[in-house]
Structure 1
């Protein structure tokens, strides 16, 4: 009887959970800091309480090593009544101004278990960049009574370990500090120990109990950023780009920024609450120093305070803003200290430094940079065919149509509902004939059904995450009772990857790609809708130790699966909702289940920018909002802005009204079509930027201050953003807007993207806006490659000619780049690509090769030509000479061929017919 009641209750629970309207954000479902003991303890600590000193400093294997212990070593802590064991400290210096600090328990002192170190995030080649320390300089600095150890970091920077009191910092040689750890003495490291008879280590939240078999094991410390105006990063939060103070007099937020991956439906905007992903990486920027960064490689739950001016007046610590320092407090439930200091000093320097540790963006297939059409769910093959044909009927290009969970056989992933999708290969082949692709969803929860081959195999092989008792973890998600593959284990990742072969994934074809959702992981009946912290993974690792990286490993395994499916020839495309540091190497990310309202639309920009700053360059928000029914004006504005997201996808919940672009009346269809067309004209520019992100870590979209690091008016601006170094875009975030205030950074002019009209930089312009477009400007001194012919999909644009748009600066000069490869394979890694630089100077436009010599490598070529050259900021010329071929072409003058007004200082060279693969010069006569 009890079993029957339990089953009925669980079925009722599942029914309720599947009605996602009950999933709206409920504060009481999730823990706050006061309900999280490690956070509450860390926040209660007073400056100077760590009382730690550094001893036994030496050089071992090119690293500085030492012991870290209480000043009065050997004395017992009152609350533990036992001697605190010394910790092991290791400091390593790397090329490009990177300092790495590791602090862990001493394995020779036999701790109860080995603390978890996050694998497969730091690049294997990173260690080759280590600067082997030969000696350490020992000096007494800044009036200290005890010495400090100083290590060489670069010609401009050095790392310092202060012995008493313990502190680690980076400074300019002989001068100002850049970053410091434990400058306020808040460091605390709860060591693993044996449980006493009278101790209760269990933690309870609502109806859930965490057994905590290893007891308290948290770590906390303060990090200070010097010469900083603002700090940024630590996604994912739906809040401003510049992080707000969470503690101190008059602060807006009373909760820390939480990093704990959670499935949060209808998340709040302007909140420090953690949602789907976590990257414990913070950057600072200021006019005094520039940019610096701090990354803590730790996958346990983390809480981070940004401490406002006067944050601890009780202890006498008051930080005047003139001091130019921002203090932060980092608190984690478990793990070790594995921290990286990035000194910059420029924004792009920090991006490259971080990328050298965690990797750059995986180079995407060309089709992935186009528009994606998604809904939960397209019902059947007829629905897919109708949607596809309507895009053609209304002359709207798109590249990918997506299928959500309902396309499967009873939520069994990598299967098809054969009643709704009886001929999946034929359906995909029809899309392929138009150069289009399909994406299907594959989540980590596997239906516990003995007839389902995936469950049967995983059970037999012991491939599931275990519960605290060692049995296969059994939780609830969309299929009902579910278990989760333990993708921390490389063998299990390989097993999961094999499931994407054409043999195993019956009905899939080469144009089918994958979407990983719910991989936080989402567990409907778990604590805070996720997996219990005492669940067990490969090697006896507790889930609490790796929670924030679970989705990362699942994403990695899926990406590996598509690589294996293609025998390593074609690049995979996998979208993931959950992410961690390094996820950029696996594919794309989106901002999750947003809502169709103006506030959520507005916050999408800082969310995407923050992801970009922390390495996740291929990201975007669901255009139109996942929940709710956007009014037509909001939907149009979202398409107009979303066309500039790196990842451009429309998506909607199944309870919403259908919202394909042609369903809102003729005028709105026209406006949405125009927005999508703009994206497609700019695909050559976007693809060039994706390659830059792939090689350097510099993101596709950027906060204004990344391009204008000296312009203080940009530091806190998250309504506008840069696409590369050439385009500035700002959304319209209010209804019935007639005007928009747009700040254009100083030092150069800006050209309206539609009209070519010039605007002065360094000024906030109050612009009239219309329904037709949002403010978008090309920076003077840049050249943007475009393809202006309208096609069904990006793959049908491959042989189309190019247009170059040249925006001249005050010196009548400009430059830009174009990257082209086959858009699909990995042959670019062997040099099979073209990379051209265009320079306009002294009345001449020159094209030159900037790719390294391709001798002995695979080759790539293209017969595409330049069919039009638009020059903004120049007038009066009548013809041009193509010098290499010695022929003349006419020049037209007058407004741009776009709707609305246009500048008269525009010249258009039509049909110069020079090939992009050739070196050539065109002289204006």
Structure 2
């Protein structure tokens, strides 16, 4: 009965009745190391480089750094460290610093990097006046000042772009052995509070290694703003924090999270970018422990001495930051830019770009906690057809299982899962089911029995299987650091181990922060133990990693294991789709991310834009929010606006809480259903555009959903805009995120280059000239195609994207001021890895007044598509051609054209060119 009461209390909290209880989550002052480090403000750094120890080997430079006692006359060396500076390709540096012969190994984050970084040779070019200068092959320099230690990174012009420890806030808490201290009377002196343990509410953290936190101040001269370090709910451009809470990076399950907040939520990606008129640079803090980040922007005028101690010399453009982590070692990658696209690419070169997703995953998804049984699923599926609304995926939340036991089905509600899936796939649709990392502790449940017997669970501080509470009640958590546990878990995804599934059933990994209802801050205690590679002679606390070391990485290990299992189940033939809530650096290699348990409020709709922009520049392009809001009920206008916005965000899924009123599109008034239908059809018309964007992201690592400053880095007004964005470099999207709006402000960038922007419905052009007031009605949000671009569309109405594979294209050409345009198109089978065997098409479109061409970028890659060109729409044409002729292979065909003079649009009718071969259309005047 006690366990049932606990679950009821938790469910009531989750229902949204209580809102966010900030008392459940730490402030900086309640986080021992944050309070300790934030108060650390020495006048002079204790760290001094010893140039006599320098050593250079190819791309790695080493020297010793001493931590000295500034109070002693001889400046006694207290601790010794090794500093390593690496030169890496792509204008990147890496700086690492750790103890010489540490008492215990410090944890080095394991999964964030895609591969081992590739080196770029360094050389020492000078050493004088207490400074040593290194240079890479591209002309960037690193200047190390010995006393006190300071490291400056200079751009190609010789100007300081990034600087470490200029404010003397570098600190590495030494690892020490716990010893009892006594006074002159032999009485034991109590340890300083928090050194070997600390409390939060009713929870005690034993801290067996003692304090091991690290801190580093990183300055960005000439920067106007800094961005990144998701996941938070405030603006894209990060705010000065010195008079309030720092930004916190600690993956947490925060129900009905607050808006405009620096509180930690589900994701923690410690990459930060600084941008100004001179340059863009970035840093990646390679650390998976709890981290707090302070920001001080001189332009804010509120900077206080707690972060910025240096004399700025009248600087008006500079941002200083400070990273503070509970454990780990100083390990920082520095991206020297120069442009936003450069630094975004440099980061994804390290951590990986998202692979090409299965095509269906870019279409529309329908989810609810929960579709209650097979009849409910069939009814939802059929109603999409009845109401002529395209959809690709139906989702099942936790109630499909046998009493919250994953890899099982409720035999009463879902007795025929294979048949249910077959009914969906017959229409080209898929199923996604949820698998969470908490495992129900129930005798007879195969997964629990196996994990217990084989020691696959995370251990508590005493070495016993850790037991917490989550949806099933008493639960334990698989330790994915144990390769045997990971292998076992991955094998659960085999079709024979998960009956009812096939290649068209995909996976949702939720609650993987991990969420623990009765744990400190609704997560796992930091002194829990994770598997570590056994080493001879190593025992005790050095023989395992604590959860504090790996916390932000836990969800990444979870989805990596899921990804491997889904690959193996089909012998690596089919691409998996996975959705995760927990996010860390590298998550993009395995899964899409959504913004968690939002609410049906206008503010959450508005917040979805900066949240996804921040995740996108942190490598995670496949992002979206729960359309309509998870909690509460969206009235018709909000629901309409959310569908219109969601249709232009990478991940497009409607989702709702178990206690909310049903809100499938057809349950609203017919007029609202029609608007939702239109929004979904707009998404499907652009499905190949989306697919091409994600293919290009897989090649170049650039965000799919982009902040304006990425494409217009010299246009200062774009630096803080986060209520509109670009898809690739071709579509400008400005969602309507306020009630009863009759107009919105839209910023049209590119005024200095005479950029044109064309309304996607009317094809009316607008010359870029900054902000303009644009009229809107309930049927439309402002979306503009950039002049000089070509976008492929598929305009036949189908029930799912799979059924559109061979449909014809309409090519929309919007001309720039020079009457030219370019575009691209990617085609493959949409679901397998055959593209790795050159079975794909990646083609470029080019338009001039003389001709329009379709050419293959790699002519050795082919795919037998049956698609063809149905129509070409050319907008902005001032002098129309008299004739047009198609050239494809041996075929030459005269084409018909229609001119619409009201908006200068020329339509080339039914060229009938196949997309399987290159072609050309010539124009004469």
Does 1:160 pair with 2:143?
yes
**Quick one: distance in 1 between partners of 2:858 and 2:722?**
35
Matched residue, 2:176 = 193
- The Cα of 1:61 is off from its aligned counterpart by 6.2
- The whole-number CA distance in structure 2 between the counterparts of 1:860 and 1:451 is 50
Alignment of 1:303-452 (within 5 A): 303-309=292-298, 311-313=303-305, 317=310, 319=312, 322-452=315-445
Alignment RMSD (CA, Å): 1.8
**1:77-111: CA deviations, max 9, x gaps?**
99xxx96320111111011101001111223xxx3
Q: Secondary structure at the match of 2:389?
A: coil
Between the aligned partners of 2:726 and 2:852, the Cα distance in structure 1 is 25
Shift of 1:877: 4.0
Q: CA deviation at 1:71?
A: 4.1
Query: Following TM superposition, by how much is the alpha carbon of 1:708 offset from its aligned partner in structure 2, in angstroms?
Result: 1.1
Give me the whole-angstrom Cα distance separating, in 1, the residues matched to 2:69 and 2:25.
40
Residue in 2 that maps onto 1:888: 894
Q: Work out the CA distance in 2 between the residues paired with 1:921 and 1:202.
A: 72
Q: Which moved more, 1:633-642 or 1:318-327?
A: 318-327
Matching of residue 138 in structure 1 with residue 126 in structure 2: yes
Check if 1:269 corresponds to 2:259: yes
Is the Cα–Cα contact under 8 Å of residues 225 and 297 in structure 2 kept in the other structure?
no
Aligned equivalents of 1:322, 1:62: Cα separation in 2: 34
Note if 1:226 corresponds to 2:221: yes
Please name the residue that 1:580 is paired with: 584
- Structure 2 equivalent of residue 812 of structure 1: 819
In structure 1, how many angstroms separate the alpha carbons of the residues matched to 2:293 and 2:62? 28
SS in 2 for 1:471: coil
Shift of 1:422: 0.6
8 Å CA contact retained: 1:73, 1:84: no
Is 1:66–2:72 an aligned residue pair?
A: no
CA distance, structure 2, for counterparts of residue 833 and residue 75 of structure 1: 69
Q: Distance in 1 between matches of 2:326 and 2:72?
A: 25
Question: Is the 8 Å Cα contact of residues 68 and 78 (structure 2) preserved in structure 1?
Answer: no
Q: CA deviation at 1:308?
A: 3.4
> Contact between 1:233 and 1:614, CA under 8 Å: does it hold in 2?
yes
913-922 or 468-477, which deviates more: 913-922
1:226 is displaced (CA, Å) by 2.4
Which deviations, in whole Å up to 9, do the C-alpha atoms of 1:320-364 show, x marking residues without a partner?
A: 884421000110000111110001111111122111111111210
Determine the structure 1 residue equivalent to 2:864. 861
Structure 1 847/690 Cα, relative in aligned 2: closer, same or farther at 3 Å? same
1:322 and 1:766, CA in 2 relative to 1: closer, same or farther beyond 3 A? farther
Give the alignment's TM-score, normalised by structure 1. Answer: 0.94
Does structure 1 conserve the Cα–Cα contact (< 8 Å) formed by 2:820 and 2:848? yes
CA distance in 2, matches of 1:852, 1:272: 49
Seen in structure 2, the aligned counterparts of structure 1 residues 428 and 734 have a Cα distance that, compared at 3 Å, is same
Moved more, 734-743 or 198-207: 198-207
**Is residue 93–residue 99 contact of structure 1 (8 Å, CA) maintained in 2?**
yes
State how 1:1-20 maps to structure 2 within 5 Å: 8-19=1-12, 20=14
| Aligned-partner SS, 1:561 | helix
8 Å contact from structure 2 (residues 790, 845) kept in 1: yes
Match of 1:122 in 2: 113
1:873 maps to what in 2?
876
Counting only pairs closer than 5 Å after superposition, residues 498-647 of structure 1 correspond to structure 2 as 498-539=491-532, 540-647=544-651
Structure 1 residue aligned with 2:799? 792
Shift of 1:113: 1.6
Could you tell me which residue of structure 1 aligns to residue 164 of structure 2? 181
Residue 760 of structure 1 is matched in structure 2 by: 767
Question: What is the CA distance between 1:924 and its match in structure 2?
Answer: 3.0
1:709, CA displacement in angstroms? 1.2
Q: In the alignment, which residue of structure 2 is the partner of 1:53? A: 48
Deviation at 1:208, TM superposition (A): 0.3
The SS at the match of 1:715 is helix
Once residues 884 and 655 of structure 2 are traced to their aligned partners in structure 1, the CA distance between those partners, rounded to angstroms, is 47
- Distance in 2, matches of 1:630 and 1:775, equals 22
Correspondence for 1:733 among 721, 727, 737: 737
Shift of 1:160: 2.3
- Counterpart in the other structure of 1:297: 286
Report the secondary structure of 2:675's partner residue: helix
> Aligned partners of 1:529 and 1:587: how far apart in 2?
23
| Structure 1 residues 329 and 852, CA gap change in structure 2 (3 angstroms) | farther
Q: Which residue is 1:147 aligned to? A: 131
CA distance change for structure 1 residues 668 and 878 in 2, over 3 Å: closer, same or farther? farther
Cα displacement (A) at 1:880: 1.6
Structure 2 counterpart SS, 1:886: strand
Q: 1:153 to 1:74 in 2, by over 3 A?
A: farther
Change (3 A) 1:455 1:806: same
- 8 Å CA contact retained: 2:247, 2:264: yes
Shift of the alpha carbon at 1:155?
A: 2.2
Q: Offset of 1:319 from its aligned partner?
A: 4.5
CA contact (8 A) 2:44 2:148 kept: no
Residues 614-638 of structure 1: CA distance to partner in whole angstroms, max 9, x if unpaired? 0001111111110010111011001
Counterpart for residue 288 of structure 1: 278
Contact 1:259/1:301 (<8 A) preserved: yes
Aligned to 2:234: 239
Give a deviation string over 1:698-718, Cα, whole Å, max 9, x none.
111100111111111111000
Where do 5+ consecutive residues of structure 2 fail to align? 181-189, 533-543
Which string of whole-angstrom CA distances, capped at 9 and with x for unpartnered residues, describes residues 515-552 of structure 1?
00000000000000000000000120000000001011
Instruction: Report the secondary structure of 1:85's partner residue.
Output: strand
Unpaired segments of 5 or more residues in structure 1? 1-7, 249-253, 896-902
Structure 1 residues 831 and 152 mapped into 2: Cα distance closer, same or farther (>3 Å)?
A: farther
3-state SS of paired residue (1:311): coil
**In 1: Cα distance, 2:309 partner to 2:682 partner:** 56
Deviation for aligned residue 1:458: 0.5
Deviations 1:23-71 (A, max 9, x none): 6211111110011111111111225443211112112464111111124
Contact 1:834–1:849 (CA under 8 A) maintained in structure 2: yes
Query: What is the deviation of 1:373?
Result: 0.3
- Report the 3-state secondary structure (helix = DSSP H, G, I; strand = E; otherwise coil) of the residue aligned with 1:914: coil
User: Any runs of at least 4 consecutive aligned residues in structure 1 with deviations exceeding 3 A, and if so which?
Assistant: 8-11, 71-78, 312-323, 875-879
Q: Output the CA distance in 1 between the equivalents of 2:327 and 2:34.
A: 12
**How many pairs were matched up?**
887
Query: What is the distance in 2 between the residues matched to 1:390 and 1:77?
Result: 81
The aligned residue for residue 660 of structure 1 is: 664
Give the secondary-structure state (helix, strand or coil) at the position aligned to 1:912: coil
Distance 1:158 1:37 in 2: 37
For residues 661 and 838 of structure 2, the distance between their equivalents in structure 1, rounded to whole angstroms, comes to: 48
Distance 1:905 1:700, change over 3 A: same
Match of 1:900 in 2: none
How far 1:763 sits from its partner (Å)?
2.5
Deviation sequence 1:599-653 (CA, Å, 0-9, x none): 1110100000000000001111111110010111011001001001111000000
Q: Using the alignment, how far apart are the partners of 1:159 and 1:687 within structure 2?
A: 41
Residue number among 100, 104, 111 corresponding to 1:106 in the alignment? 100
Q: Which residue of 2 aligns with 1:898?
A: none
Task: Name the CA distance, whole Å, in 2 between partners of 1:165 and 1:598.
Answer: 51
Distance across 2 between alignment mates of 1:75 and 1:91: 30
- Which digits, 9 at most, give the CA deviation of each residue in 1:658-683, with x for residues without a partner? 11111111111110000000000001
User: Match of 2:666, SS?
Assistant: coil
